[in-house]
Amino acid sequence: MEIDQWRREYVSGGLSRADLCDTPLEQFDKWLQELAPAGLSDPSSMILATADANGRPSQRVVLLKGYGDKGFTFFTNLQSQKARDIAANPQVCLLFPWHALDRQVIIYGRAEELDRQEAQAYFQTRPRDSQLAAWASHQSEPVESREQLEKAFLQTRERFPDEVPLPDFWGGYRVVPDTVEFWQGRASRLHDRFMYLLQDDGSWKVERLSP
C-alpha cells in the first residue's frame, strides 16, 4: 500500500464542552489518569519544540517530570541545543501524542529555568548510572565514537565512587503555559478540538476549533 493510502478512523470517543474541566491543568490531569488503563507506554514522553535566534525550529522527545499550577517541568543539559534555543527564544511548544486514545495535548508557553534547589532535588532521585551519564555526555556536541562515550562514562564512575554531585551544567525548565489545546480524534476527520486561552485576570477562556 502506498503511504498516502495509510489511514484509519479515529473511533476512541469524543470530547464535548461539557466534558471539560475549568482549567487546562485539571483537564490534563484528568486525561493523564486515563492513560494507565489504556496501557500506553511512556505516557510522560512529550515532544519539545524550540527555535533558535534565527528562527530555525527543532524538536526532540523529552520526559515530563512534574506539573502543577506553575507549569510543566523537564530536565536537561544546560549546554544542549534545546537549552541554547531557549536562551535565545524562551517561547516553546510541548506535544503529548497519546495515540492509543486518539488524543493530543499541545501546550504553548514560556520556558523558565528552574532554580538549583529544584534541580538538585530531582537529580538525587535519578538512578546512579543516569547521574553519571549526565556528567559523561556533552549533550548535542559531536563525539568521535561510541567507545569514547563509554570511556568517559567509566572515567566518571571512577571519579565519583560514592555520591554523584549535580553538574553545574545540568538543570531543568518549567514551561509556563498561556495556550493549551486538547485534541480528540473523531470519525471522518471531524475531530474535537478545544483551546484554553489564558486571560489577563488569570482565568481561562475556552474555544472550540474547527478540526
Binding site for substrate: which residues?
7-10, 65, 122, 126, 130, 189-191
Phi first, then psi, for residue 20 (nearest 5°) are: -80, 145
pLDDT at residue number 40: 79
Largest CA distance in the chain: 59
On the question of pLDDT at 63 being above 80, the answer is yes
On the question of pLDDT at 79 being above 90, the answer is yes
Q: Which residues on neighbouring strands pair with residue 113, listed in sequence order? A: 173
Binding site for FMN: which residues?
60-65, 75-76, 82, 104, 139-140, 183, 193
Confidence of residue 7 (pLDDT cuts 50, 70, 90): confident
Q: What is the pLDDT of residues 130-154, one digit of tens each?
A: 999 999 999 888 899 999 999 999 9
C-alpha cell at 26: 485539571
Residue 90 one-letter amino acid: P
Cα 76 from chain centroid (whole Å): 11
Q: Is 142 helix (H, G, I), strand (E, B) or coil?
A: coil
Q: Which residues on neighbouring strands pair with residue 171, listed in sequence order? A: 76
Instruction: Give the residue from 105, 104, 113, 59 showing the smallest Cα distance to 81.
Output: 59
Residue 159 one-letter amino acid: R
Q: What is the pLDDT of residues 80-103, one digit of tens each?
A: 999 999 999 999 999 999 998 999
* Calpha distance 71→82 (Å, rounded): 18
Residue 106 one-letter amino acid: I
> Which residues are known to be catalytic?
189
Q: Which residues on neighbouring strands pair with residue 98, listed in sequence order? A: 103
pLDDT at residue number 76: 97
For the chain, the average pLDDT equals 95
On the question of pLDDT at 1 being above 80, the answer is no
Binding site: which residues?
7-10, 60-65, 75-76, 82, 104, 122, 126, 130, 139-140, 183, 189-191, 193
* Domain at 24-123+173-208: CATH code: 2.30.110.10
Length of the chain: 211
